[in-house]
Amino acid sequence: MRITLALLCALVGVSFGAPVALIVDAPAPLPPAVASAFHQEVDLVFRETGYNFSWVNRAEMKPEDSFPDLVVLRLKSECRLDARSSSGPSGKPLALAWAHRSGDEVLPFIEVDCGRVRNMLRVLAHGEPVGVQQEMMGRALGRVVAHELYHVLTGNSNHSHAGIAQASLSASHLAGPALEFTQREVNLLSRRSFAAGRTQQPSAAFAADEFASDSGR
């Protein structure tokens, strides 16, 4: 996955305008129940921050499409609980998602390993109806992505001691009752706006320098 550094967003003073476009790059379409819960959870977590989002499937984009601000979400593996897992449980914690960096700058590019999310949820989801499982998967994806969006939108790689911005999220965090930002993170998000300074054309966003490095889990 490649993206031009010229399209990276700078953090500026509060100036909330058009929604931040979340461009979803997935190996297969998300089941409707998963996608619905995913989108709703991200909106719910960010409801007090001033941010709002629009959702775009990369496969449906046209070369002329452009957005004031965008973040690319690359979903690895199948994002559904009834999918066959590509890896078994690990004895050590593994990152469920990560935001890439260039030096000290957090880039608007997030990767999510759906296989690892599935593995965390399997025990909690066992025996539940398919609809409940899909909703659980979507809710978990929303919380994992919200965590990484916090890093991207604030440019901050630090973590909190509680809430959705804490360093490590357990299965119960992902599937349990509402998980939110602490007031500290809400204040930080509310004071800043993610803005590119010019319209971004996503057709160019997948065509230049490759980057790596994680901002955190």
Is the pLDDT at 97 greater than 70, yes or no? Answer: yes
Helices in 102-170 by DSSP H: which ranges? 114-125, 130-154
Predicted confidence (pLDDT) per residue in 170-197, tens digit: 898 998 888 999 999 999 888 776 654 3
Question: DSSP 3-state helix, strand, coil percentages of the chain (rounded to 5)?
Answer: 35, 20, 40
pLDDT at 139: 96
pLDDT at 11: 32
**pLDDT classification of 83: cutoffs 50, 70, 90:** low
Give the residue carrying structure tokens 């999510």: 112
- Domain 17-203, CATH homologous superfamily name and number: Collagenase (Catalytic Domain) (3.40.390.10)
Is the pLDDT at 88 greater than 60, yes or no? Answer: no
Please name every residue paired with 214 in a beta bridge, in sequence order, or none if there are none: 100
Nearest Cα residue to 120 out of 160, 42, 173, 163: 173
pLDDT at 18: 75
Nearest Cα residue to 99 out of 87, 111, 81, 113: 111
Query: Cα 98 to chain center, whole Å?
Result: 8
111, 76 in Cβ contact below 8 A? yes
Angle at 30 between CA 166 and CA 21, to 5 degrees: 65
pTM above 0.85, yes or no: no
Nearest Cα residue to 119 out of 143, 139, 93: 93
Give the residue carrying structure tokens 């065509």: 207
- Pick the more confident residue, 127 or 8: 127
Indicate the burial class of 55 (C-beta count within 10 angstroms; 0-12, 13-18, 19 or more): middle
Is the pLDDT at 209 greater than 50, yes or no? Answer: no
Predicted confidence (pLDDT) per residue in 114-173, tens digit: 999 999 998 888 888 999 999 999 999 999 999 999 999 999 888 988 999 999 888 989
- Six-digit token pair at 85? 């897992």
pLDDT at 185: 93
